[in-house]
Amino acid sequence: MEDDELIDAENFRAAFPELGSLAIRIVETSPQRGIVSHQFSLQEPPPRALECSHPECKGGVLNLWIMLRDLMDKKTTQQHLKLPCPGGHRQGRVQTMACTSTYDLSFEIVYK
Ligand SMILES: [Zn+2]
């Protein structure tokens, strides 16, 4: 494990002290690249921001800590979301076209 990841895990526990247990499953579906899945837990905390795996995507970032904080503020225990990638691909000099990747997210949250 890299030092950065260790610090992130500590930061994560400090940022979400009321978290008893956590399971996040993210399935990214891209027409070009197929399916990329991610799983996170209290032991393997999510990154603050998950970047779209499409190499040409710009701005395709899911702010997982912000999303989790939002769910926990509402005392949500289970959430399932489908989101389009918020990013875009450059097309020509100024135009961009929306990224075609989509995300299927599920959160299971247990509070202390
Ligand atoms: Zn994207």
Q: How many domains does the chain have?
A: 1
Distance separating alpha carbons of residues 34 and 66, to the nearest angstrom: 27
Tell how far the Cα of 6 is from the centroid of ligand 1, in angstroms.
27
Tell how far the Cα of 54 is from the centroid of ligand 1, in angstroms.
6
Structural domain for 86, as ranges:
3-111
52 DSSP assignment: P
Residue 56 structure tokens: 């040409």
What is the identity of the amino acid at 91?
Q
Q: What is the pLDDT of residue 2?
A: 55
Residue 86 structure tokens: 């918020």
Tell how far the Cα of 110 is from the centroid of ligand 1, in angstroms.
30
Tell how far the Cα of 106 is from the centroid of ligand 1, in angstroms.
19
Return the half-sphere exposure (C-beta side, CA atoms, 13 A cut-off) of residue 47: 10
Choice between 56 and 23, residue whose per-residue pLDDT is larger: 23
- High-pLDDT (> 70) share of the chain, %: 94
pTM score: 0.87
